[in-house]
Structure formats: C-alpha cells, structure tokens
Amino acid sequence: MKSKTHKNQPQVSTPSNSSNGQNRGSNSSHSYHGNYAKVESETTINEYGVLVERAVCYFNRLFDKKNLNNYGYSARDFAYLFRDLAQNPDALLPHEDATITKLKQLADFMVDRPLDEQVGNSNSIIPPGYTYWGQFLDHDISAGTDRSHGFTLAQERFDPVAPDQVVQDIENMRSAFFDLDSIYGDKEGPFCSMHQLYDPVDIVKFKIGKNDENINIPGEVPNPALGKMRDLPRNNDGLRPDDFPTVAIIGDDRNDENTIIGQFHLAMLKFHNKVVDAIREEEPDLTARELFFKARNEVKNHYQWLIINDFLKRMLNEQVYDWILDELKDPNSATIFDDFGNGQPFMPLEFSTAAYRFGHSMVRNNYDFNLNFGSGRLTDSNDNGVVLDEANFSLLFAFTGKGGQRLANANPPQPTIRTTLPFNWIIEWERFFDTDQSRFSPDQFARKIDTLLAVPLSNLENDVFDLRSMKEQEDINAAGIGAIQFNKVMKHLAMRNLLRGYLLSIPTSQAIVKELQDVCGLAIDHLTEAELLQNIGADFADFMRESGFLERTPLWFYILKEAEVKENGNRLGKLGSYIVGRTFAGLLKKETRDNYYEKYIDVQKYDPDTCAYLHNHWTPQQGIVYKKTGAFAGIMDLLRFAEVALPKTQFNNIIAQNTNSQY
C-alpha cells in the first residue's frame, strides 16, 4: 500500500479558546471549560416508574466547529480531497453563466424515456435493496451539503463559492463515522437528550410503531408470523405537540423519506432490540447502562462488517475492492486522509456531492414490494399483486412522515390518510435482497449505474417549497421567482446534483484522474471521448461535443458513465470505486476512541469499547447472531435476526412450493 503525504494539505483550523462555547442546535444548558464539557448526571423516575440515570450536561451531536478537537479537520467537517484543484480554474468547469445553462441541458438529457419507450435493458444484477441500504449509509455519515448555508440554487445565475468559504461554512451534521448516530442519536443514547427514541418501560430498547390494522385496508399482512409491530415510532401520541402526528420519532428524519428506507431504519431498530434480548439472556446481571453500550457495540460491529464484506464487495470494481481490503487489513497502511490531508478524518466533498450519488441512477420507476404491491405470493410466480401489480415510485412516499402522511394534519383534515403505516405496506425484504438471480425476473433488480435516471426523479414532489399551499396571490408574489426556480431545481434530481457540484467548486474528472496518476497505486485511466459518447443518441452526443463537457466533465456524470462503460452498470468503475471505497475504508480506520469522542469525554466511563470493528479485531463468529443462528454472511442474516424477514429455512420452503417457478 502506497503511503505518502499528498501536497494538498488541508488548512488546520484552531479550536476556540473561549471558555463559554455555544452548543449549536440544542436548547439545553451546557457548561464548557475551554474545550472540555462538564458532564453531570442525575437519577430520576420516569412517568412509567422506571429508574433512569441521564446525563444532564452533555454536548449535543450538532455542536460548533470551534469547540472541536485540536487535530485540525475533524469528521464533522466537509473538505476537499483535491484542495489545490478546487482552487485552480483550469481544473473546474468554466465560471460563466453559460455553464449553468449547459448543466441544466445536461440534466434533461439524463432523464430516461418513459417505460413504454425505453430501448434496451436498463436493469442491473444488483438486488434493489442495495439502493436504499446505500441511502441509509449516506444518512449515517453525512448531512449538510443540501442545506443552503447562504449558498443557493434558487437563482437563474450564480457564481461558484470559493473553496475556502465552502469548507468554512458547510458543517457535517453527522459524525461521519459508521456509528449509527442516525438511529442512536447522542452517544449517551437513552441516558441523555435523545431518550424520546427509546422505550420508556425498557429504556435500553427502541420504541417500535404499530401498523394500522383498519379493516378497510385492502390486501393481506405480509409474512403475518412476524407480527404487526413493523412501523417506525411516530408522533401520534403527541410526544411532540408542535409537530405532525405522522412524523417519525427517529434519530434522522430523512430515513422516513420513503417507505423502503423507513423500513430499513425500522429493521436496524429491531435488530438492536433483538441483540439486547440475546445479551440480557446471557448476562442478566448487567446494569441498564452496561447492557445498552454492549448491545450498541454488538450492533455496530455487525453493521460495519457488512458494509465492507457485503455492500462494498457488491458495489466496487473488483480490483479496487481487493486493494482496499489490503488497506483495511494493514494497520500501518495510509488512508485517503493521510494521502490527501493531515491524517485526520473529514467528509470529502468529491465523495458526498458526486461519487456517492451514484445510487440515484439505481432508483427504479416501480418495485416488486410485497404480495400486495408486486408480483403476488411467492408460492406462485403466475400470481398477481393482491392490490396492485407493482409499487410505483410515488406510492413509496404516500405513507411517510415526510410525504403523504402529513396530509393527515391538513386543514380541513383528510381522514382517509393514515397516521401509521398500513399493514399492507409492510415490506418483504426477500424481494429486495435475495441474491439468487434465478429466483427473480430482471425487472426486480436495481437499474444500472449509468447516466440515465428514472423519469420520476426529474419531478420529485417531496422536500420542495410548496407554492400550492399558498391561498393568496400575495403569498405567491412574496415567495418570488426564487422559490419557483428553487422548486424547479430541487424537483429535478440530476439538475440539483450537477448545479451543486458547480456551486461547490468540485473539480472535473479529467483533473482528478490526472492528479491520481501521481499518488494512486492503481492504474486509473480516463475514459476516452468515444467512451464518453457511448450508448447515447445523436442529439446527446452533439450536445456533449458542443458543450465542452468532453474536455471538462462534471465529476458526478463521469462516475456514472465510467460504471456504465467499464462495468455494464453493475458496479462502480475504478475512479468511483477509489473515491467511495477509500472514503469508507478511511472512516472505518480512523474511527478510534480519540476521534470518535473528542478528547474531553471520559471514554472509559461512557463507552469503553467504542471504535470501529477493525480495531477490535472482530469477526462474525464472535458475534451474537452467529452464536444464536450459526450464520452471518450478508445483510439478509441481519434482517432475519431482527425478525423483519422470514427465517431462511421457512423462506426456502415457501419457494419450494412454487412449481411454476421463476423463483
């Protein structure tokens, strides 16, 4: 493994010497002494009569950069891998109004034809669940580049932001480590400010929501043996009186954006709860604090192992994957943060705004979701869906706190809208992660990673400024053209990605490949002009020639094209694999006790085992799942243990009944 210090050293930011730092994003009162937080605790009895010890003076996970550690960049910073390139006009798209126009035109070319007009096969060999597992991973390590921070896509014309200003102003609202803070919240979990996420009776477990059982709901309960406690916990008990009753009470509300990621988040909650049960059975004398932290670390070990040995193995170029495994196995090998920084982890902008957005091209127009909305019962491949023969894209947003369910709080109320997930929308994970290609038709797999996005992604309805809700014309006028333009961009995913890359001064693919040839131990060559034009129509090809994008290619577009040309859309190409894989590997290797907790926290008191599974030398054979079931090799083993998917033998018996079988 090549080890060197790259010339693009990040500038070191010095922590504030103020003795009274302000904790951003929290209403709590915190006492700071320089860069040290005073942590106190109290023992109380909650409304259920349960004795609870909670930290009452503790840092919130959204705290100010100035109160970070003395290491310089931290995992709460966004920064550039290629800082010199971001400041070099020759390595960027031209800074001119014409570039904005061309990027919008490119975005329109990236919208696929409607299903009935598509030519060729758009399906990959990747099970569709990996699309949304990837989204969950993204939400675990980053949040913030989609926020305005004073930078806006709402204007017809805008100038790119200076890289120094980008780094200064955009803060990662996640820890950037694969620590599942998106489900656990604060590091203290139920013993701190995020206790609303947890069961008030059994505080070391998460709350779980119950599905709507209304008899008028059409369809059947998928896998009824798994019960009807298969929704996210929601605000229908009024715990948050100022919020919608349908809002999920979870660590990251982005994970209730669509039903698939919502059900994946639920799976992780239930996995934690099952791990608690298993540990409690083996060690009944543990205190609540000891049990919680032991269970959380057990969950995290399984989760991180799967990221490397399942998710990345499937998504990366095979040569790059093997190379990254060597990096992970060698404790002395350099990480991407050593090669392109001062060794301290940060969230690379080239990763978060470009390379890792490859999953957008994998989103389908529709899904085989369960027996109600899909291909019917698994016992009969000639069956039809009990309700509909597919779950189309818009339906995935209909029963989420961030989507259609918010209409339940409309004025006047709309009683037909549910406040919890209807039982007929419980997911069947076997349809999303089964890797036996012979069991499913090609239309049940993710779309290829390529430069064409599914049609619905050009007209997204969620997370936009809702002009339709404005009853008065003066309200629309007050919103101005900026709101209308903002909606146009935000609803068109390809346009949003391309313009944000330009706004944040992301270097072109040509500049990055040239830079990597000096430091990378892999042979990464840029696509030729012929390869960049491969598989596109005459009008698209003419546009690419005239736009200048063949000479200066937007990084996100290039990552997709490389996967399409070099891997037939079934995994990332070398450049995409390098940025994604090394970022993942670097974050895992850099998750040490010092980096994870910041140095003012008493690590031994709060979580003595915290660090990535790599540093614990953990293997699945040591884990609670393997001990209880004798198997842990992929994501389906986690889902089965969480009891959100059928046991393997039961599933295989069901499939065996299907004598027609594509299964």
Angle subtended by helix axes 318-329 and 574-589, to nearest 10: 20
| % residues pLDDT > 90 (the chain) | 56
How far is residue 241 from each of residues 193, 236, 246, 250, 344, measured CA to CA in Å?
A: 17, 9, 11, 16, 41
Map residue 248 onto helix, strand or coil.
strand
Q: Tell me which range, 172-176, 198-202, 463-467, is most confidently predicted by mean pLDDT.
A: 198-202
Instruction: Name which residue leads in pLDDT, 657 or 364.
Output: 364
Residue 632 tokens, joined: 């842990």
Could you give the C-alpha distances from 201 to 50, 183, 240, in angstroms and in order? 6, 19, 19
Helix axes 509-519, 555-567, angle to 10 degrees: 70
* 662 vs 589: which has the higher pLDDT: 589
Question: Which SS3 state, helix, strand or coil, does residue 334 take?
Answer: coil
Phi-psi region of 201 (alpha: psi -120 to 50; beta: other; left: phi over 0): alpha
The rounded percent of the chain whose pLDDT value lies above 70 is 72
Of residues 162 and 465, the one with the higher pLDDT is 162
Q: What confidence score (pLDDT) does residue 652 get?
A: 76
pLDDT of residue 175: 83
pLDDT tens per residue across span 86-123: 999 999 999 999 999 999 999 999 999 876 555 567 89
Give the three-state DSSP class for 637: helix
Mean pLDDT across 251-265: 94
Q: Give the tens place of pLDDT for each residue, 535-550.
A: 999 999 999 999 999 9
* pLDDT at 406 (0 to 100): 54
473, 476, 477, 482 alpha-carbon torsion, rounded to 10°: -170
Q: What is the CA radius of gyration of the chain?
A: 25
Q: What is the C-alpha separation between 467 and 589, in angstroms, rounded?
A: 46
659 vs 625, residue with greater confidence:
625
Gap between the terminal Cα atoms of the chain = 43
Indicate if the pLDDT at residue 598 is higher than 60. no
Would the pLDDT of 349 be above 60? yes
Q: Give me the sign of the Cα torsion angle 267, 430, 436, 132.
A: negative
Structure tokens at 152: 């806006």
Alpha helices in 16-73 (DSSP H): none
* Average pLDDT over every residue of 624-643: 96
For the chain, how are helix, strand and coil distributed in percent, rounded to 5?
45, 5, 50
* Residue range 264-271: mean pLDDT, rounded: 98
* pLDDT computed for residue 174 by the predictor: 83
| Main-chain dihedrals φ then ψ at residue 471, nearest 5 degrees | -85, -25
Amino acid at 13: S
pTM of the model: 0.85
Task: Dump pLDDT digits (tens) for 8-59.
Answer: 333 323 223 333 333 323 333 222 222 223 333 444 444 444 444 443 322 2
Pairwise CA distance, residues 17 & 68, whole Å: 11
Give the H/E segment covering residue 37. strand 36-37
Q: DSSP letters of 518-580? A: HH-SS---PPPHHHHTTT--HHHHHHHHHHTTTTS--HHHHHHHHHHHHHTTSS--HHHHHHH
For the packed helices 129-141 and 259-282, what is the interaxial angle rounded to 10 degrees?
70
Cα–chain-centroid distance for residue 501? 19
- Least confident range from 21-35, 180-194, 263-277, 587-601: namely 21-35
Residue 491 has pLDDT above 70, yes or no: yes
Of 36-50, 243-257, 588-602, 618-632, the least confident: 36-50
On the question of pLDDT at 622 being above 60, the answer is yes
Q: What is the pLDDT of residue 444?
A: 83
pLDDT at 606: 40
pLDDT of residue 13: 30
Mean pLDDT (the chain, rounded): 79
Amino acid code (one letter) for 341: G
